Amino acid sequence: MAGVQPQDDLLKMTHRESWRMQHERLHVKHQGHEAMHAEMVMILVATLVVAQIVLVQWKLRHHRSYNLVTLVQMWVVPLYFTIKLYWWRFLSMWGVFSVITSYVIFRATRKPLSCRTPRMVYKWFLLIYKLSYAVGLLGYVAIMLTMFGFNVFFRIKAEDSMDVGVVMLFYGLYYGVLGRDFAEICSDFMASTIGYYSRGGIPSRSLSEHICAVCAQKILVDVDEEGVIEDTYQLSCGHIFHEFCIRGWCIVGKKQTCPYCNEKVDLKTMMNNPWEKTHVLYGQLLDWLRYLVAWQPIIIGIVHGINFSLGLE
């Protein structure tokens, strides 16, 4: 009976008392290891600094290979954790997104390029962009409401509402990053196929003033003539495009230059109202998150490998 008493006392303890006891045990376990902990922190900081320098130089010198490797990592690495942890809901959504996006990429890389393909590509990735924005925003709101205790008004447990908010925020940011990267690749392929755009050289075709350089269709068409009828937009360089095409090129495809002359484009001037300017900030946030999603797990894995090899556990 004497050996049973401590366990009975442990069961009677409150959550706060149990947490305090576990914290004390952890403190005793790591007591005297301050030097080892300091060494592990130094390794982490040094690895982060070196990795940041290498990644920045890689991105500056070989932008396309950096983007491609980053995209493959973001697309494939979560699949490993999904299967390992049995996240079937994420796996099903990942599968649907991958199938449709693969078809869109297939259409965007065909030669000759169909006149309908550029608009179809930008419509798909614009849909992904807007859905990711809405889902991520709802997830953020759910997290904030839970933190301020508003979940009790809906009779929802804090753990459940927080889980829903985190999952929605993750889905929004993850597919937002993927969508923008795939859109950029498709934009490069389509523009190079059409021939009015060249990243660093002279375009292979001369642009007529009545042709949109993004979709290669006439900007203004007659009533009984086949073509795209919509509003136009003129950039500061003087070149005119279909409004949907140039918005898809700049906002969805992450291009901040004219599709023909490569002159810098100010995205803020393309927004019709102040609410649309949040899309520019959201796009910048997604570009920043690419580093965390794609490279941070690998950097942490390298740090763990160094610590293990040095016997720092």
pLDDT in tens, 235-280: 888 888 888 888 788 777 777 788 888 788 776 666 655 545 566 6
* 159 and 117 inside one domain: yes
* 156 and 92 inside one domain: yes
Paired with 257 in beta bridges are: 264
Of 194, 227, 245, at which residue does a domain stop?
194
The separation between CA 209 and the C-alpha centre of its own chain, rounded to angstroms, equals 36
Paired with 233 in beta bridges are: 241
200 inside domain: no
- What pLDDT shows up at residue 278? 62
Measured at the CA of 179, the angle between CA 175 and CA 184, to 5 degrees, comes to 155
Which has the closest alpha carbon to 187: 113, 249, 277?
A: 249
Amino acid letter, residue 284: Q
Tokens of 52: 């940041």
Query: Helices 34-61 & 296-309, crossing angle to 10 degrees?
Result: 140
* 242 and 143 inside one domain: no
Query: Helices 158-194 & 117-147, crossing angle to 10 degrees?
Result: 160
Digit-coded pLDDT (tens) for 10-66: 455 566 667 677 767 766 665 556 677 778 788 888 888 888 888 888 888 887 788
Of 147, 165, 194, at which residue does a domain stop?
194
Tokens of 69: 């490797």
* 106 and 56 inside one domain: no
Which has the closest alpha carbon to 241: 224, 255, 275, 204?
A: 255
27 inside domain: no
| Kind and range of the H or E run holding 234 | strand 232-234
Digit-coded pLDDT (tens) for 205-246: 777 777 888 887 777 766 555 555 677 888 888 888 888 888
241 inside domain: yes
Separation of alpha carbons 250 and 90, rounded Å:
29
Digit-coded pLDDT (tens) for 145-187: 888 888 888 888 888 888 888 889 889 888 988 888 888 888 8
* 259 and 189 inside one domain: no
Paired with 242 in beta bridges are: 232
* 117 and 171 inside one domain: yes
* 72 and 100 inside one domain: no
* 308 and 218 inside one domain: no
* 103 and 189 inside one domain: yes
* 92 and 177 inside one domain: yes
What's the domain count of the chain?
A: 3
Of 167, 194, 221, at which residue does a domain stop?
194
Could you list the residue range(s) of the whole structural domain that residue 48 is in? 33-84+287-312
Signed CA dihedral, 233, 235, 240, 242: sign only: negative
150 inside domain: yes
Digit-coded pLDDT (tens) for 129-148: 889 889 988 998 998 888 88
Q: Does the predicted TM-score (pTM) go above 0.75? A: no
* 172 and 146 inside one domain: yes
CATH code where residue 235 lies: 3.30.40.10
278 inside domain: no
Separation of alpha carbons 180 and 223, rounded Å:
35
Three-state DSSP at 230 gives coil
The separation between CA 251 and the C-alpha centre of its own chain, rounded to angstroms, equals 14
